[in-house]
Structures are given as C-alpha cells and as structure tokens.
C-alpha cells in the first residue's frame, strides 16, 4: 500500500505483480460521451480475482487495475447519457457485447469478440469509469431497498442464470453441485428458487458445507472425506443425479462431475480451469450412457436483466453469499483470507 491512504486524491488498487497490490492515487477521471463516472460504494471479491492475483492473466498486463463486481452512485454522466443522471444509484455488469459480430448476430453474445477485451476492471477504487457500451446495455438503476453489496452480485449471478438457462433444470430432477464456493452456492440458491426439490452439494471444508445446508442443500457431501461419485450414485433411487453442475474450476472437479451423472444425465462444466489442462473422456460411457455435456461461458444481456430482476425481487437471499466486509485499504488481508478458503465473498467498501 502506498502513502496515498487518507489523502483526498481518489484511490485505485493496482496489482503490480502476482500477489502484490499498491493503492495508488489516481487522476480524477471525467466521463466521455456515453460514459459514466461511478463512485464505487461496494466491490466484491471473486474467484476470478484470486486467479489473477496468483498468476496474472494473458489478456491483461501489469500493473493492472483490479475488481469487476461493483455497485455505486453516478458521480458524473457523459454527453448523450439520458437514461441516468448524477446521484442515481447504479448496478452494472463489467462487460457488454458489441451487438454486431458473428456471435452477437447468432444470439451468442456471451462469446462476442469484444466482450472480454473491453471488460471493466478497477472496481477496487474510489471511482470507476463505465464505458459507453456497458452503460448502454448492462447498467441499471439500483432499487432503493437493495443494499449496494447485493447489487454488486449482478455479474456472478448473471453467469449462474446463463448457465442454468442452458442446463434447464426441472423441479422433479435430482441435481448435484460439485463445489461449495460462492458460485456453487449461487447455483444452489437459484435451483431452490426455481423449485428444484432435491439438490446435493459436494464441497470442501466444514464451514462451506454448513452454509450449503443452511442455504437449502438436501444433502451435503464432504469431498475431503467421502467418495463423491460413490455418494452421487446412491441418489435418485440409485440412478445418480439427473444434472451435475461443476463449480470448482479444477480438473478434479470436472472429473468428479463427469463421473457422477446418471445414465442419460447432463453434466454442466461451469468453472473454467487453468489453460492447458484436459480431462479424459470414456467414449463408451459417453455414448452408451448417452451423456449430455454442457459448458456455458459468461452471460448475455438477457441473463443480466434476469439477474437484475432476481436481485430486485430479494427472494433469492443472494446476500448470504457475502460473508466478510473490509475497507479498501485492507485489500491485501482480503486476499490472504480468500486463500484461506473460509470466505465466500468479501464486500470491499471504499
């Protein structure tokens, strides 16, 4: 952390190399046409941030601004912005598609050629500039009764909404989630809100399994002590789960998920693994057990709108995913805590 803490200059956390943050004084930005300068009220930690923190990212170079889940207040709006005004409380996703490319034309905006390159990073800061394409498509007024920290769940929830739109869980199905982190538990909350009666969660650590049970899991499986695929095979009258959602982003999680689905079932690989990794596929099981494999990535604007509606509605209780709160100046400790594993999401308040 630099010596700018406590001074009047706006602060911006940058990752200068793996595992090393600096809180720097940032020049006061002003929004250009279509843009909004957001005064950040809350940013959330994310598993993706932890990956960047450990090893950087091929698309971003050091020093990199950091943090992509946020909510705040419009401090200044640029020319041509007529849907928002200064003082509005906002929630937004950090990306938006171009609407014109090959993928956008095929309603696969999650794969838009610009969607990741133009991602907003830098929410661990006092101010954040929202680019015009995000303001135009994926920014919304925050309902007054929705806390800023819950509003900041828009992006992770949009990923989960997109994935479940692809997997199409039915109420009568037995589902299993592999991974009891923030994403696994958001999947659980969404399945339960959709009326899915039987959901098992496999995860590591007593605290996480306890939270899963509190959030509605019908069974919890301790992945450290129990044979997850063996336990899964006993579910659903001995056939195994109809739908398995992988939410660890680890090769072992992918393998477990693949091994756990019933004959004729669906496996959804939700968590992205490190580049260069692969899993074995038993072609006989794939074919004769007639498995359906799904691998959704990111989200489309319609998923963001659905996530916004779910958060505004408050019935999901998604705020339960946020179980720590820290100041921006405490960011290094936040990442130490995330590595410890007992934090689902930490709200970082400037």
What does the binding site for Zn ion look like in residue numbers (CB under 5 A)?
A: 46, 48, 97-98, 101, 104, 112
Of 26 and 119, which has the nearer Cβ to Zn ion?
A: 119
Minimum distance from CB of 258 to Zn ion (Å)?
25
CA dist 327 → 48, 258, 340, 346, 348 (Å):
20, 40, 19, 10, 5
Minimum distance from CB of 109 to Zn ion (Å)?
6
CB 68 within 8 A of CB 48: yes
Distance separating alpha carbons of residues 295 and 14, to the nearest angstrom: 31
Residues with Cβ within 8 Å of residue 35, at least 6 apart in sequence: 77, 78, 81, 129, 130, 131, 132, 135
- Of 83, 168, 165, 63, nearest in space to 124 by CA: 63
Of 150 and 242, which has the nearer Cβ to Zn ion?
A: 150
Minimum distance from CB of 2 to Zn ion (Å)?
26
Of 161 and 235, which has the nearer Cβ to Zn ion?
A: 161
Minimum distance from CB of 271 to Zn ion (Å)?
12
User: Angle 308-253-179 (CA atoms, 0-180°, nearest 5)?
Assistant: 45
Of 77 and 335, which has the nearer Cβ to Zn ion?
A: 335
Look up residue 110 and give its DSSP letter.
Answer: G
Of 94 and 265, which has the nearer Cβ to Zn ion?
A: 94
Minimum distance from CB of 293 to Zn ion (Å)?
24
Minimum distance from CB of 90 to Zn ion (Å)?
17
Of 4 and 114, which has the nearer Cβ to Zn ion?
A: 114
Pairing assessment for the beta strands 127-130 and 70-77 based on DSSP bridges: unpaired
Distance separating alpha carbons of residues 171 and 148, to the nearest angstrom: 31
Distance separating alpha carbons of residues 34 and 78, to the nearest angstrom: 5
Minimum distance from CB of 113 to Zn ion (Å)?
5
């Amino acid at each position: 952390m630099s010596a700018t803490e406590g001074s009047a200059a706006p602060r911006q956390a940058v990752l200068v190399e793996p595992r090393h943050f600096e809180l720097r004084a940032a020049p006061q930005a002003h929004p250009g046409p279509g843009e909004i300068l957001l005064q950040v009220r809350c940013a959330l930690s994310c598993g993706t941030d932890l990956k960047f923190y450990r090893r950087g990212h091929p698309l971003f170079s050091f020093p990199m601004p950091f943090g992509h889940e946020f909510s705040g207040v419009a401090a200044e709006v640029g020319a041509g912005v007529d849907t928002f005004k200064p003082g509005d409380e906002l929630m937004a996703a950090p990306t938006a598609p171009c609407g014109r490319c090959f993928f956008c034309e095929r309603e696969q905006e999650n794969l838009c050629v610009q969607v990741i390159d133009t991602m907003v990073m830098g929410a661990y800061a006092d101010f954040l500039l929202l680019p015009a394409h995000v303001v135009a498509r994926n920014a919304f007024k925050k309902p007054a009764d929705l806390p800023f920290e819950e509003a900041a769940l828009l992006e992770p929830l949009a990923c989960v909404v997109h994935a479940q739109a692809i997997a199409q869980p039915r109420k009568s199905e037995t589902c299993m989630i592999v991974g009891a982190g923030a994403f696994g538990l958001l999947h659980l909350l969404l399945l339960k809100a959709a009326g899915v009666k039987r959901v098992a969660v496999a995860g590591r650590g007593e605290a996480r399994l306890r939270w899963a049970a509190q959030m509605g899991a019908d069974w919890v499986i301790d992945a450290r002590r129990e044979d997850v695929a063996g336990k899964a095979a006993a579910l659903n009258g001995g056939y195994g789960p109809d739908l398995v959602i992988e939410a660890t982003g680890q090769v072992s999680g992918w393998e477990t998920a693949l091994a756990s689905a019933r004959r004729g079932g669906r496996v959804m690989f939700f968590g992205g693994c490190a580049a260069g990794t692969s899993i074995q596929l038993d072609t006989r099981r794939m074919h004769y057990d007639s498995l359906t494999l799904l691998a959704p990535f990111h989200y489309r604007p319609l998923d963001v709108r659905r996530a916004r509606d779910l958060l505004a509605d408050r019935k999901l209780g998604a705020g339960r995913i946020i179980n720590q709160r820290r100041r921006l100046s405490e960011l290094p400790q936040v990442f130490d805590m995330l590595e410890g594993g007992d934090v689902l999401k930490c709200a970082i308040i400037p």
